[in-house]
A and B are shown apart, each in its own frame.
Chain A
Amino acid sequence: AQSVTQLDSQVPVFEEAPVELRCNYSSSVSVYLFWYVQYPNQGLQLLLKYLSGSTLVKGINGFEAEFNKSQTSFHLRKPSVHISDTAEYFCAASIQGAQKLVFGQGTRLTINP
């Protein structure tokens, strides 16, 4: 069975500082990887995804993530955060060929002025 682990439940950073949200996955087969953002009392919005090809994936709002197969990681990064990036971020994985998503526990990103 596959699983997704987000290593940090909360990450506080100052505005304009860089941030990295960590995500590790485990699976015996190849997976697709996703990062979603959830603003308070809203559904999830796709930030970026890795299906195949280049291991560095660029998404919306200036976010990017790097797929590292040897470390089974898919960490999310942004070089300079804004107050508006305050939200809950979820890493998710699906087995290639399947539709079901397995979510990590989520990381609450808090931006301090």
Chain B
Amino acid sequence: GAVVSQHPSWVICKSGTSVKIECRSLDFQATTMFWYRQFPKQSLMLMATSNEGSKATYEQGVEKDKFLINHASLTLSTLTVTSAHPEDSSFYICSASPPYILGTESEQYFGPGTRLTVT
């Protein structure tokens, strides 16, 4: 149980174009989803927290107009990188939190990641 998928797993796009990444919780409803960015051989940096039906909360330094997040349902959140540039190339990972049950505090289930390359 608790499987999170991401699509696509990798994408190459040209500079100036936009790309959308989907994150789905396959067997549970996720009221909260998170988007992370990971540079090569570095840790995960939280970009934003996404709650179903409300606006995402972005971390300091993350451009909300560049990284558009939509959490349209309890099983789907999308990240759109608008007007992508080579410096946006990275590994993007989403995670989802299941409904609270005692013992699952702060638990997040991670997707397999999406590698974005902007040429």
Interface residues of A in 31-47 (CB under 8 A from B): 32, 34, 36, 41-46
A43 touches B49 (CB 8 A): no
Interface residues of A in 63-104 (CB under 8 A from B): 90, 94, 96, 98-104
B113 touches A41 (CB 8 A): yes
Whether, in the assembled complex, A7 has its beta carbon less than 8 Å from a beta carbon of chain B, the answer is: no
Among B11-19, B62-70, B72-80, B99-107, the stretch that binds chain A is B99-107
Q: State the Cβ distance, A2 to closest chain B Cβ, in Å.
A: 12
Q: Which residues of chain B are within 8 angstroms of A90 by Cβ–Cβ distance? A: 43-44
A61 to B109, CA, bound (A): 18
A interface footprint on B80-110 (CB within 8 Å = 1, 0 otherwise): 0000000000010101010000010111111
Chain B, residue nearest A43 (CB): B110
Whether, in the assembled complex, B7 has its beta carbon less than 8 Å from a beta carbon of chain A, the answer is: no
B111 touches A43 (CB 8 A): yes
B106 touches A106 (CB 8 A): no
B106 touches A99 (CB 8 A): yes
Q: Which residues of chain B are within 8 angstroms of A42 by Cβ–Cβ distance? A: 112-113
Q: Which residues of chain B are within 8 angstroms of A94 by Cβ–Cβ distance? A: 105-106
Given known contacts A105-B42, A105-B43, A106-B43, is B107 in contact with A49 (CB within 8 Å)?
yes
Q: Which residues of chain A are within 8 angstroms of B109 by Cβ–Cβ distance? A: 46
Q: State the Cβ distance, B86 to closest chain A Cβ, in Å.
A: 20
> Which of B42, B97, B107 has the most chain A CB atoms closer than 10 A to its own CB?
B107
A106 to B45, CA, bound (A): 12
A51 to B107, CA, bound (A): 10
Q: Which residues of chain B are within 8 angstroms of A34 by Cβ–Cβ distance? A: 106
Interface residues of A in 13-59 (CB under 8 A from B): 32, 34, 36, 41-46, 49, 51
Please provide the 9 A-B residue pairs with the shortest distance between their CB atoms, ordered closest to farther: A43-B110, A94-B106, A44-B110, A43-B112, A103-B43, A103-B44, A105-B43, A32-B106, A43-B111
